[in-house]
Amino acid sequence: MLFSLPPQVLVILIFSLIFALTFHEFGHAYVAHLCGDDTAKNAGRMSLNPFVHLDLFGSLMVLAAGFGYAKPVPVSPNNYRVRNADFYVASAGPLMNLVLGVGAAFLFSFLAKNNLSTLAGVPILELLYLFIFINFNLCLFNLIPLGPLDGNSVLPHFLPVNLKLRFQHWNYRYGSQALIGLVVLSMFLPGFSAFSWIASISKSMINGLL
């Protein structure tokens, strides 16, 4: 993906990546603030300044593999004043990427219907498609219930209490290692792609919207 793109497309793709990750983390911080926890706000993370959110390795993963992450937003659950606040805060990031992707899809459809495929020589429809794809990939990847990903705080709210506790205990001990192992195998082992379903679902979502 990274090395097959024209330079001008790559530049705007990187901008799209930064935009998507920044809004993802801002969503976490803002919802935490709404739920009574200002830890992220006080740390300067309730911001649309991308430099306070981006993680180098996580950003490169998106360019190389189509999924990745930014620096986790710090939270203090003891400050929450809303029931199930951890669920709302965790869901906010993926939901933000979903909203961005759907909004861009509507813009894509509008431009396509009006035969506006390029703007000042820039292949705007191609760039919008990549922007939608990145946001849907980020949404789905972060919903995986492993390690520090958002899904780790989303899935337990749909499980029975005993299974929820067992899952949280297992994920605390082994979740990060399992996630890292799957990522490494997917990136470096030919023929193995543990996350191919992410791209497939993303494309299906795009096809359903466009």
Known catalytic residues are: 25
Burial (Cβ within 10 Å: 0-12, 13-18, ≥19) of residue 33? middle
> What single letter denotes the amino acid at residue 160?
P
Q: What are phi and psi of 37, to 5 degrees?
A: -105, 115
CA distance 98 to 48: 17
Cα distances (Å, whole numbers) of residue 146 to 11, 122, 184 = 31, 39, 14
Q: Can you tell me which residue has the tokens 């992410």? A: 198
User: Per the structure block, which two tokens stand in for 30?
Assistant: 């803002």
**Measured CA angle at 72 (ends 157, 195), to 5 deg:** 70
**Cβ 54 vs Cβ 118: under 8 Å:** no
